[in-house]
Structure 1
């Protein structure tokens, strides 16, 4: 595998005009081998931490979470000479199981696949009239399907966060859309400095267009392009963080297959440049960053001696609490993801641990307008038995209809004569997290009916394609006679919105030394896959914090 360095130049294709939204791939949600069972090996989980966090310790900077925002913060703080400890609720994901692989295959889910579930909860729940979820042992697996408030939120669990389980679609929003995404942020700075920095740090690249035209594993995308263009919609290539040279070798059969074998939803064993290979690798190389996996923060409160007292639980791979630790941190960075950060802050405010947080905490949460659907194609439009799990293109109707649709794979290993899509839309609805004192839990106010605008926007593309092609929607992917996947999101955003719950650089109001640096800052929609924007915003914010607060 030819990993690129953290500061490798982004492929020239990334800056081409017309690059627009891509989305994290829900693609391989299929678990078609219902009766397959992988060996139930329990890998070691502690080797990602050079120096495990000990109770009573004092740390200059504690980062809660190891996803995009947290990884940026850890790297830049360490480069500025600050010692950093990161705590992660999930596993390290650095030790192979008995099958020789770290991650489970998308079509063969096992104990590694889901976070503390006894049955899988795949985004696509049915296929050809049959349910495809299966029983699995309870384990601290890589994908969390968290059900709340009428929506399922899919989140990565492990060192690397969402980068472990998404499709790697690394897209910078169109400049003209940016003011609606982050209205208080200087667009010139973002597009001149921080988006390029994020793209370089993530190792973003573009598929070879000539290779795309001939390779079998992207036949599904070429069919999607043909149908889009015949209905008058632009088809655009979108960048990704996959090692495209490695994928070419996969197709040639000279290296172990990864994306070409459908690996993505439960991790990718080879070509994908997750944060483990980019920002986190660079952060750990400084010698100033340590990581403690299987640690769940429960309390953050001001310390009498300055800084903040942080309590956390240590978990085993069955999800049991096997220890409790308390440390003091001079500064705390909340980077547990939109849902994790929002839920923690709402609870800390409501229970009096951080009483000075303002009333914007928990507000402005959205699903990035995610909605899925499938279309049944004619027999003369086969999409291919072998489909690479990494999407590389999409259909743009954002300006006219409020939707961008990723042409996503269905890596089933059989010919389906189907096209599958994940759309991002301009859905205006926003949910809110609140504390339920009676249950002692944080709840999300979200209604499934709020997905209707997303469906209507997606229909501006697919109704027209079906009419042009004489085709119909698939109704067997999300249940019985259900066309739209309106029950989920892979792109949670908001809950601690920049310029409202925080100042314009992520400093939480009322408690100096506390920061939000993840997707919770972005109010509900990015018009594209969000992780490049999360990374770029984190680069912007941490630069300011280091320059002024440290």
Structure 2
């Protein structure tokens, strides 16, 4: 059996385990009884396992798969729930246009990125607090969208699987061998994520991408080029959605609160394969609160187990020899800051918390002429980006985003990714027991200026104007107070060595977007995945199987 067949078999075993856990109502997911000595009741208080991975996002999923393949018994601790059990409407995820409690992480009202239409809040709903799939973490002058559940951000993003421009990758991560990344680890990541390209012939004729073709035409009028963007969505499934032969997902406006069909999120790729090794267990609704090191060098974690309504069920202590932090830029950074400032890991570097940035994220929208209809039918999965990254003064990569309202809006919406050099810092707030972000709106001024320069050109070439009514009650054309792509906090080569080993502590690793200093120029998850592939390969070789 070759490597591809082995991976496919493991993925199928893992998918079976995920389905069985959902049917049985278990919060512990394992593909084999021997996996980390787990049972249906879960990993017990006082348990020791060789490796623990905190989180189930991109870097965490890579780490768990490779540890499992190496024969290392591994437990993944995920604060969210497993998303494959249908709700009362027969669907796993709630709809975007009429969301219920499944949409949001313990909110009383949804907090959609498009906060209004004609200054009316039509997208949000009052809901019951619940362990929903999307969280908006609000700081004083910046909010960050993150996914909650088995698969992390892969559950709620648009699936745009973009490999960064090599020149910019080398600028951001000069200590990483770019030849290795682009010849080995980026291809490995794209294969593991199951990245595919849209059929361009279908794209050109389908009504569902009229909005993208209009955006391309208007960019071309300004002398700007566009590029097709690969995705983890199953494009063949989408074509069948359009034909009416399968249930709609991308073509039913599903994206920010999860896709019920079509998208190959991590639970269907890396995590399924990790479970299929028989050496990996996922504990859901388990949140790590504290980390300390014992005298023998092992790590002791205090973990709260809750139900989906937020009720505390148990507090456990789980110990391990190798600890991988994959809770994302916010989660991993907060755990390490808390450990440093409360004295449980006092020798952590002063660099922990630094180098944070929103990947230059800015949203904007334009009002088209009445003859430039964008279509009442719009796929929620983006397929095109405006590529002006070679602009020497203000490089921008702007996704032509959908606005699937089910009616004609004459709106062209964009998520711009800019090269903003500004960085924020996380600090530990002892009174709130959380990481607080020191970042000001003024720090986003370079990103807004770059976005404005690009879209001023497009508006001038097409005789159009901005929309000022989409981003809440304020009259503004640029949404600069939230982001989708949080990066930094535990920067590679500063807070860690060049492979994510945390300075000051042996067998402690960071494996997520915390490692990237604030910007990568495109949607970051392919880079996070590839960097994790590179790092964990070295760690397993030198620190685990070689020790």
Matched residue, 2:29: 48
Superposition pairs for residues 394-473 of structure 1, below 5 Å?
394-400=385-391, 401-473=394-466
For 1:415 and 1:284, how far apart are their aligned partners in 2? 44
- The answer to whether residue 343 in structure 2 is matched with residue 352 in structure 1 is yes
Query: In the alignment, which residue of structure 2 is the partner of 1:15?
Result: none
Match of 2:174 in 1: 183
Q: Does 1:193 align with 2:184?
A: yes
| Equivalences for residues 178-257 of structure 1 within 5 A | 178-257=169-248
Change (3 A) 1:119 1:168: same
Q: Name whichever of 49-58 and 514-523 sits farther off.
A: 49-58
Distance 1:402 1:208 in 2: 28
Cα offset, 1:439, TM superposition: 4.2
Offset, 1:496 = 0.2
Aligned equivalent of 2:72: 82
Shift of 1:321: 2.0
Give me the whole-angstrom Cα distance separating, in 2, the residues matched to 1:506 and 1:157. 23
Given that 2:28 and 2:282 are in contact with CA atoms closer than 8 Å, whether structure 1 keeps it comes out as no
Call closer, same or farther: CA 1:54–1:446 in 2, change over 3 Å. same
Give the superposition deviation at 1:44.
Answer: 4.5
Distance in structure 2 (CA, Å) of the matches to 1:440 and 1:532: 32
The residue that corresponds to 2:478 in the other structure is 484
Aligned counterpart, 2:506: 512
Task: Measure how far apart 1:442 and its partner are.
Answer: 2.1
Q: TM-score, normalised by structure 2?
A: 0.92
Residue in 2 that maps onto 1:97 = 87
Shift of 1:537: 0.2
What is the root-mean-square deviation in Å for CA atoms of aligned residues? 1.6
Is the CA contact (8 Å cut-off) linking 1:5 and 1:278 kept in structure 2?
A: no
Aligned-pair CA distance for 1:438:
4.3
> Secondary structure of 2:101's match?
coil
SS in structure 2 at match of 1:381? coil
Map of 1:492-531 to 2, 5 A cutoff?
Answer: 492-531=486-525
Match of 2:278 among 263, 281, 287: 287
Aligned counterpart, 1:337: 328
- Residue 320 of structure 1 pairs with residue 326 of structure 2: no
| 1:358–1:317 CA distance, 2 compared to 1 (3 A) | same
Offset of 1:483 from its aligned partner? Answer: 1.1
Structure 2 Cα separation of the partners of residues 454 and 137 of structure 1: 36
- Deviation of residue 265 (structure 1)? 0.5
Take 1:430 and 1:164, find their aligned partners in 2: how far apart are those partners? 27
What is residue 113 of structure 1 aligned with on the other side?
103
Instruction: State how far apart, in whole Å, the 2-side matches of 1:251 and 1:365 are.
Output: 41
Which stretch shows the higher mean deviation, 255-264 or 476-485? 476-485
Distance 1:187 1:236 in 2: 23
SS in 2 for 1:270: coil
Which 5+ residue runs of structure 1 have no aligned equivalent?
Answer: 9-42
CA contact (8 A) 1:150 1:448 kept: yes
**Residue in 2 aligned with 1:380?**
371
Residue by residue over 1:80-114, the C-alpha shift from the partner in whole angstroms, topping out at 9 and shown as x without a partner, is: 11011000010111211011111111112101000
Greater alpha carbon shift after TM alignment, 161-170 vs 460-469: 460-469
Which range moves more in the overlay, 478-487 or 135-144?
Answer: 478-487
**Cα separation, 1, equivalents of 2:301 and 2:312:** 16
State the alpha-carbon separation in 1 of the partners of residues 232 and 53 from structure 2: 24
Q: CA deviation at 1:320?
A: 2.8
Q: Secondary structure at the match of 1:144?
A: strand
TM-score, normalization by structure 1: 0.91
Structure 2 distance, partners of 1:79, 1:526, is: 30
Corresponding residue to 2:57 among 67, 70, 73? 67
Shift of 1:437: 3.4
Tell me the distance in 2 between the aligned counterparts of 1:97 and 1:5: 34
Report the counterpart of residue 142 of structure 1 in structure 2. 133
Quick one: distance in 2 between partners of 1:239 and 1:181?
A: 22
Is the contact made by 1:5 and 1:203 (CA closer than 8 Å) also made in structure 2?
no
Distance 1:440 1:340 in 2: 13
Asked whether the 8 Å contact 1:6–1:201 carries over to 2, the reply is no
Between Structure 1 and Structure 2, how many residues are aligned? 514
Displacement of 1:436 after TM fit? 2.6
